[in-house]
Amino acid sequence: MTATVVALVTVFPIYWMLLSALKPAGEVQSLSQKPWTLAPTLDNFRRVLGAEGFARYLVNSLLVALVVVVLSGLVAFLAAVALTRFRFRFRGTILVMFLVAQMVPIEALTIPLFFLIRDVGTVVPQVGLNTLGSLVLVHLAFTLPFAIWMLRGFVAAIPEELEEAALLDGASRRTVLWRILFPLVAPGLAATSVFSFIVAWNDFLFARTFIISAADNQTLPMALLVFFKPDENDWGGIMAASVLMTVPVLAFFILVQKRLVSGLGGAVKD
């Protein structure tokens, strides 16, 4: 009973978002809101997707998030193997640094990063200001510490005998890494990538800072803010845009849900 009530309260904002997105304009901007609608319509979605650039921003956001997920997964996998399978000097220091790195508020680094990206852009225009490449770079940097930290648990859970046997049989290190370890870690990698996806998908601070003049390279969160107007917010449009922004993340979460739990538990073990 209690659980059902808590579940309803928790999910209510999500329900309200979906409901308001489906309501006709008159019912959304109403002084007597009803928790249901008898005339569901896709008008809000049509308006949002028809709005200038929205579809484009959606593609940009997906592109940035997916590139970040793939790159951060690969890099984190290699680093996690190094930090779980080997004992070397400074290993402990490196581990602690990854934990400390997670505590750095990224907002504080916006200004130095802006200068860095501006300067790099003069040499490599693909990752300079106003490019999606710059967003990929910074998100990669901010997702790595947590991804490595969490992946360690998954790598540690694989019996070392597997690699040793393969090495004894004459397999090269590359084979061991990509043919044995990687497939076994893959489910954990999927769980870890949710967090990388969220960081890249949700960000609007860097999108706002780096993408100054190239409107074509804007991302979804900025598009959402466009629907806010002083005193006359288009709530139907805002809610439809919010639904479009929430669905990919929710789908991703449900897909990897089981792995997520074991991964969070695994991050604890050393």
Partner 1 sequence: MSTASTALADPQSRVRPATASRRTRHSWGRHTPLWLLIPAAAVLLPLFAYPIYQLGLLSVLDFRQAQVSGGEPTRFVGFDNYLTLLRDGKFWSVLLATVAFAAACVAATLAVGAALAVLLTRVSRWPGYALSFAAMAAWAAPAITGSTVWMFLFDANLGLVNQVLGLAGYNWTYDPYSTFALVGAVVVWHSFPFVMVTLYAGIRAIPGQVLEAAALDGASHWRSFRQIVVPMIRPLLVIVVIQSIIWDFKVFTQIYVMTSGGGIAGQNLTLNV
Q: Which is nearer to partner 1, 130 or 203 (CB)?
A: 203
Token code pair at residue 135: 């967003």
138 binds partner 1 (CB under 8 A): yes
For residue 216, the minimal CB distance to partner 1 (Å) is 21
Site for partner 1 in 21-40 (CB under 8 A): 28-33, 35
Distances (CA, A) of 67 to 63, 70, 74, 93, 245: 6, 5, 11, 29, 18
Q: Which long-range contacts (CB under 8 A, 24 or more apart) does 109-114 make?
A: 110/205, 110/206, 110/209, 113/138, 113/206, 113/209, 114/209, 114/210
Residue 216 as a binder of partner 1 (CB under 8 A): the answer is no
Is 50 an interacting residue with respect to partner 1 (CB under 8 A)? Answer: no
Q: Pick from 22, 58, 69, 81: which binds partner 1 (CB under 8 A)?
A: 81
Minimum distance between the CB of residue 215 and partner 1, rounded to whole angstroms? 19
Select from 43-51, 69-77, 185-193, 211-219 the region that touches partner 1 (CB under 8 A). 69-77
Q: Which of 86, 159, 183, 229 binds partner 1 (CB under 8 A)?
A: 86
Please give the full DSSP string across 53-118, using - where no structure is assigned: THHHHHHHHHHHHHHHHHHHHHHHHHHHHHHHH---TTHHHHHHHHHHHHHS-GGGGHHHHHHHHH
Q: How far apart, in whole angstroms, are the C-alpha atoms of residue 54 and residue 222?
A: 10
Maximal CA-CA distance, the chain = 74
Q: Is 11 in the site for partner 1 (CB under 8 A)?
A: yes
Where in 91-110 is the site for partner 1 (CB under 8 A)? 91, 94, 99, 101-110
Say how many residues touch partner 1, by CB under 8 A.
Answer: 100
Q: Where in 193-212 is the site for partner 1 (CB under 8 A)?
A: 198, 201-202, 204-205
Residue 41 in contact with partner 1, rule: CB under 8 A: no
Q: Least distance (Å) from partner 1 to the CB of residue 55?
A: 18
- Distance from C-alpha of 15 to C-alpha of 264, rounded to nearest angstrom: 28
Site string for partner 1, 240-269 (x = CB under 8 A): --xx-xx--xx-xxx--x--xxx-xx-xxx
Is residue 85 part of the contact set for partner 1 (CB under 8 A)? Answer: yes
Burial of 203 (0-12, 13-18, 19+ CB in 10 A): buried
Does 78 bind partner 1 (CB under 8 A)? Our answer is yes
